[in-house]
């Protein structure tokens, strides 16, 4: 049985005409993005497969900082449809993830110790001025600087109360 060839798969799908997402059928990273090994000189490099698809269909990125962004919001599902790809700056790509709901801010971030409700309660306590920051930090099991960042809206700034 012949071995699967990711490079040949990309080549075969460069002119995919469908509007639906085109899932990457090979290995992916922890974020769900397809991975591809490319020969460069005498060695090989690993590249995100959607970036390679974007290079082959849209040309090289405007700068080395540009991302192959997914306007479908399914980059985390390995979408390879060239109609869904475009070059964007990191900040524009980040804003897209917010719009698509695929960002990892707040409790979606696996390192977060706080929930949305915790942060709203912390803000409420701070606004009343009856509890010190260090006491709140102890109650919620976080560093004092975390409470300070919430108070100054340096973190969780996007979170608005729902009342």
- Joined together, the tokens standing for residue 122 give 């912390």
Q: What is the mean pLDDT of residues 23-29?
A: 93
Let me know whether 27 and 86 are in one domain: yes
What pLDDT, on the 0 to 100 scale, is given for residue 91?
86
User: Do 27 and 42 have their domain in common?
Assistant: yes
Task: Tell me the C-alpha distance between 137 and 24, whole Å.
Answer: 44
Query: What radius of gyration do the chain's Cα atoms show?
Result: 21
Pair 99, 134 in one domain: no
> 118 and 89 share a domain?
no
pLDDT of 3 > 80? The answer is: no
Among the listed residues 93, 91, 96, 71, the one whose alpha carbon sits nearest the alpha carbon of residue 81: 71
Percent of the chain at pLDDT exceeding 90: 53
Structure tokens at 48: 């995100």
Confidence check: pLDDT of 109 > 80: no
Question: Which CATH number fits the domain that encloses residue 68?
Answer: 3.90.75
Is the whole-model pTM more than 0.75? no
Same domain, 86 and 23: yes
């Amino acid at each position: 049985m012949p071995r699967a060839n990711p490079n040949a798969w990309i080549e075969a799908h460069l002119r995919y005409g469908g509007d639906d997402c085109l899932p990457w059928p090979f290995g992916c990273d922890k974020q769900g993005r397809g991975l591809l090994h490319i020969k460069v000189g005498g060695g090989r490099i690993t590249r995100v497969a959607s970036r390679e698809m974007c290079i082959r269909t849209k040309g090289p990125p405007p700068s080395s900082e540009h991302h192959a962004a997914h306007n479908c919001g399914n980059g985390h599902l390995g979408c390879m449809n060239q109609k869904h790809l475009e070059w964007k700056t990191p900040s524009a790509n980040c804003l897209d993830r917010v719009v698509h709901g695929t960002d990892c801010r707040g409790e979606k971030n696996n390192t977060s110790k706080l929930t949305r409700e915790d942060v709203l309660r912390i803000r409420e306590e701070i606004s009343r001025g009856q509890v010190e920051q260090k006491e709140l930090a102890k109650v919620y099991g976080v560093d004092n600087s975390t409470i300070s960042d919430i108070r100054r809206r340096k973190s969780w700034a996007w979170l608005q109360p729902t009342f």
